[in-house]
Amino acid sequence: MNKIRKNIDNLSNFSGLGELQKKILYTLLLLLIYRLGIHIPTPGVDAEALASFFNQMKGTLLNVFDMFSGGGLKRLSIFALGIMPYISASIIMELLTVVVPKLDQLKKEGSEGYKKITRYSRYGTVVISLVQGMGIAMGLENMTSPSGASVVLDPGWLFRINTMITLTAGTVFIMWLGERITEKGIGNGISLIIFAGIVTSMPGAVINTLRLIRTGELSIIVAIIILIMAILVIGAVVFFETSQRRIPIHYAKRVVGRKVYGGQTTYLPLKINTAGVIPPIFASSILLFPATITTFIKVPFFQNFNNIFHPNSIIYNILYVALIFGFCFFYTAITFRSDNVAENLRKYGGFVPGIRPGKKTAEYIDTILTRITLWGALYVSAVCVLPVILLMQFNIPFYFGGTSLLIVVGVAIDIMQRVESYLINRNYDSLLRKGRKGL
């Protein structure tokens, strides 16, 4: 009886979370709109010929872009460009803050400077979308299906301009959806849009595995091994994504007027994978670009080059791991500025015990960050090359690895942390209100 009462109390507490429910429903509604838009085609394209062409282009850069667009590129929907132009513009702005003093100053101004940088990122998104839209339109005119059917029904400048404007408008609308989710929904809108696109392809992978088991191409024992490995890989990703190296920070006491500030002990959390999923995305894009170009060139030399840089080749994966390591250190150095952190600590009276404030603190933080980034790069590389190793060595079709898994698990962890934070704040506010009534 007591258990039933507790369950009823839990249900009543959840029903009282009106604001959280609204955030979740609002987020789901906008994601549903995004997924509906994926199925709206761009005018002037033969859908069957385009699908046949994409089946021929497996293992190229087009498949990577199609994954991040949630399948929109393969259908050439109005959302074919996805959110990648906005991500590219944001990364470019992040890199420019290092070399352009004015942008670096804006970044230090707080919320107002961040708004201006975001506005510049939006302008950059439009420019990148226009260029990519025109490139896709011109590329489609030269594409044919294996049967020889032309992908574009009526090629020409009218089709090019129409496609460029349509795809740019679709990207701008997705950008708007992402910003609305971040502002009024729950979680980071841009990450959730990519998350939704990847998750929708997972049921197809499960159905394909079941089909292989039914036809006898995949034994039940191997399927059980795949399931166990999937659980272990997901657990490892969760462990590394939530792992931190905590540097203790002490704050000296400061007297301002009649109030005393400081005298606290806290910590500076450093994530093992500070760079996130940017390194594998950049690395795969660079390596798959030559393979994509050589696919269109029907020359034996370029075809051999394409085979060497195929995602299942040893040379490709060695270069892939090397680029992941390079981008992990490069992007971490850009996004996490140890000298700025040390300066802010010194400004507010914080210091690392046993380390001098200022330059010595920056060097200490940078040393620790370099060490944990090495482990982060090893972890990201292992997750990204695991599917290829299993397929090449054991002929096991492992679908739970790579960049997509890092994104899905990372976004899921972020949503759980935001919901938990919301619940803690709500309970804290309710306790304060009860305390005031008691007084």
- pLDDT tens-digit profile of 90-136? 888 877 887 778 877 877 777 778 888 888 889 999 998 898 888 88
Domain limit, last residue, from 120, 153, 183: 183
Whether 120 and 179 share a structural domain: yes
Whether 145 and 255 share a structural domain: no
What b-and-e string marks burial along 117-145, b requiring 16 or more CB atoms within 10 Å of the CB?
Answer: beebbeebbbebbbebbbebbeebbebeb
CATH number, position 436:
1.10.3370.10
The count of C-alpha atoms lying within 13 angstroms of the C-alpha of 394, restricted to the half-sphere facing its C-beta, is: 13
Whether 419 and 329 share a structural domain: yes
Q: By mean pLDDT, which of 247-251, 265-269, 392-396 is the weakest?
A: 392-396
Whether 265 and 148 share a structural domain: no
Domain membership of residue 261 (yes or no) is: yes
Please give the tally of structural domains in the chain. Answer: 2
> Is the model more confident about 435 or about 87?
87
pLDDT score of 259 more than 90: no
> Across the strands, what pairs with 265?
250
Question: Quick one: which of 350, 287, 335 has its CA closest to 63?
Answer: 287
- Report the chain's mean pLDDT, rounded to a whole number: 77
Whether 279 and 408 share a structural domain: yes
Whether 120 and 239 share a structural domain: no
3 state DSSP class of 268: strand
DSSP codes joined into one string, 89-144: HHHHHHHHHHH-HHHHHHHHT-HHHHHHHHHHHHHHHHHHHHHHHHHHHHHHHT-B
Domain limit, last residue, from 183, 217, 247: 183
DSSP codes joined into one string, 131-154: HHHHHHHHHHHT-B-TT--BSBSS
pLDDT single digits (tens) 28-73: 899 899 988 888 888 888 777 777 777 766 655 566 676 667 777 7
Mean pLDDT, rounded, for 7-23: 57
- The vertex-3 CA angle with 2 and 5, nearest 5°, equals 65
| Beta pairing class for 350-351 and 244-251 | antiparallel
Domain membership of residue 210 (yes or no) is: no
The alpha carbons of the chain give a radius of gyration, in whole angstroms, of 25
Tokens for 10? 């839990």
The pLDDT assigned to 428 comes to: 60
Question: Domain of 84?
Answer: 19-183
> Across the strands, what pairs with 41?
77
Q: How far is CA 78 from CA 11, 39, 269, in A?
A: 41, 8, 41
Going by the DSSP 8-state scheme, the letter that residue 297 receives in this structure is: -
Q: How far is CA 171 from CA 51, 85, 139, in A?
A: 22, 8, 19
What b-and-e string marks burial along 300-312, b requiring 16 or more CB atoms within 10 Å of the CB?
Answer: eebeebbeebebe
- The pTM score is 0.76
Domain membership of residue 26 (yes or no) is: yes
What b-and-e string marks burial along 262-286, b requiring 16 or more CB atoms within 10 Å of the CB?
Answer: eeeeeebebbbbbbbbbbbbbbbbe
**185 contacts 30 by C-beta, under 8 angstroms:** yes
Domain membership of residue 312 (yes or no) is: yes
| Helical ranges in 185-219 per DSSP H | 189-199, 202-215
Whether 41 and 130 share a structural domain: yes
Whether 179 and 236 share a structural domain: no
> Is the model more confident about 17 or about 314?
314
Domain membership of residue 51 (yes or no) is: yes
Question: Quick one: which of 234, 263, 268 has its CA closest to 249?
Answer: 268
**391 contacts 397 by C-beta, under 8 angstroms:** yes
The pLDDT assigned to 306 comes to: 61
Whether 169 and 285 share a structural domain: no
What b-and-e string marks burial along 10-47, b requiring 16 or more CB atoms within 10 Å of the CB?
Answer: eeeeeeeeeebeebbebbeebbeebbebbeebbebbbe
Domain membership of residue 196 (yes or no) is: no
DSSP codes joined into one string, 24-42: HHHHHHHHHHHHHHHTSBP
Give how far the C-alpha of residue 116 lies from the chain's centroid of Cα atoms, to the nearest Å. 23
CA-to-CA distance for 335 and 183, rounded, in angstroms? Answer: 23
Domain limit, last residue, from 183, 215, 236: 183
In sequence order, the 6+-apart residues with CB closer than 8 A to the CB of 381 are 320, 321, 324, 325
Whether 335 and 411 share a structural domain: yes
Whether 178 and 234 share a structural domain: no
Domain membership of residue 153 (yes or no) is: yes
Identify the band that residue 374 occupies on the pLDDT scale cut at 50, 70 and 90: very high
pLDDT single digits (tens) 329-360: 988 888 788 888 888 888 877 888 888 888 88
Whether 310 and 251 share a structural domain: yes
pLDDT single digits (tens) 180-226: 998 888 888 888 888 888 888 777 777 777 787 788 777 788 778 77
Domain membership of residue 437 (yes or no) is: yes
% of the chain exceeding 90 in pLDDT: 6
pLDDT score of 395 more than 90: no
The pLDDT assigned to 16 comes to: 45
Side-by-side strand order, sheet with 350-351: 265-271, 244-251, 350-351
CA-to-CA distance for 72 and 142, rounded, in angstroms? Answer: 20
pLDDT score of 396 more than 60: no
Length of the chain: 439
